[in-house]
Amino acid sequence: MSPVVPKILFEDNHLLVVEKPVNTPSQADESRDPDLLSILKNDLKYRYEKPGQVYLGLVHRLDRPVGGVMIFAKTSKAAARLSAQIRNGEFKKTYRAVVYGILQKKKDTLRHFLLKDSKANKVAVVDASVAGAKEAVLDYEIIHTADGLSLVQIHLQTGRSHQIRVQFAAIGHPLFGDQKYGIGYSKPGQQIALWSTQICCKHPTQNEDITFQSLPSNEFPWSLF
């Protein structure tokens, strides 16, 4: 049975914007499960009857359990220009998450230094002096609270691996359903409540501002809000 092609939010000659399904790898990994990049390449090849290899550039990623907006580049020029926007901080990503507890501040900026253990695929908060540590910064705002949970909107200033998950766990408010960083909070089998809701950037060839949005399905715990 062929993997289901995800919902396409926008497509032109340069961009392909989709809603990434939860629990789908952004690209091929050691699990060998169907990954989003390969699914989309195969779909382009089929829809446009393209011979040979299809180009599709992966310019950013979402963790496997996370769903929401993802942008792919259909040309190498688009990929290079989007990557430059990411480096320059012009590629704006907004997320929503449900976290355990009620945060003391309605709005705040979180700053930590993170170190990734690639073998364990886990990230830890460390002192700034630790070799290899990278600064991670995000802004959040509480949207609603219910049943001891907070719905927060998050704007990333940096794009570190597992950043949102690690930073909220570090302040004692891990994400609902996070099996890696929410031990003692999340129960086995719960789906992490983290969603890529919006990406704002410039079109790679038309130089105009573009925005793409997606909202999570109305399932628990999202349905509380």
List pLDDT tens digits, range 101-149: 999 999 999 999 999 999 899 999 999 999 999 999 999 999 999 999 9
What pLDDT does 51 receive? 87
What pLDDT does 2 receive? 63
What pLDDT does 95 receive? 98
What pLDDT does 213 receive? 98
Give one DSSP letter per residue of 172-219, joined into a string.
T-PBTT-TTT-TTTSPTTPPP-EEEEEEEEE-TTT--EEEEE----S-
Go through the domains of the chain in sequence order and give each one's CATH number: 8-224 (3.30.2350.10)
Total-model pTM:
0.94
Query: Residue 100: which of 190, 172, 180 has the closest Cα?
Result: 172
CA dist 193 and 175 (Å) reads: 6
Instruction: Kindly give the parts of the chain with pLDDT less than 50.
Output: none
What pLDDT does 3 receive? 75
What pLDDT does 165 receive? 97
Question: Coil, helix or strand for 53?
Answer: coil
What pLDDT does 52 receive? 86
pLDDT digit string, tens, across residues 182-198: 999 999 999 999 999 99
